[in-house]
Amino acid sequence: MFINKFTTGLIAGSILGAAGLAVMGNDKKTRRRIMKDGRKIMAKANDLVQDITDIVK
């Protein structure tokens, strides 16, 4: 099934917005922990994408 870029962006933005609202409802310590974990996950995902693009080339 093909989803165009606009729809994909709309869905991703909605998910990020909902996650942002959920994070803001927590106390400061929990927010810091969530942000720290999120940075680690994003770094791992970035490494994975780079590895995949290197393999495909």
Residues in contact with 13: Cβ distance below 8 Å, sequence separation at least 6, in sequence order: none
**For the whole model, what pTM was predicted?**
0.49
On average, the pLDDT of the chain sits at 84
Six-digit token string for 24 = 């803001």
What is the average pLDDT across 30-52?
A: 87
Residues in contact with 23: Cβ distance below 8 Å, sequence separation at least 6, in sequence order: 31, 34, 35
Six-digit token string for 18 = 């909902």
Confidence of residue 25 (pLDDT cuts 50, 70, 90): confident
> Is residue 2 over pLDDT 70?
no
Taking residue 29's Cβ as centre, other Cβ atoms within 10 Å add up to: 8
Per-residue model confidence (pLDDT) at position 3? 67
Confidence of residue 35 (pLDDT cuts 50, 70, 90): confident
**Residue in the block written with tokens 């609202």:** 21
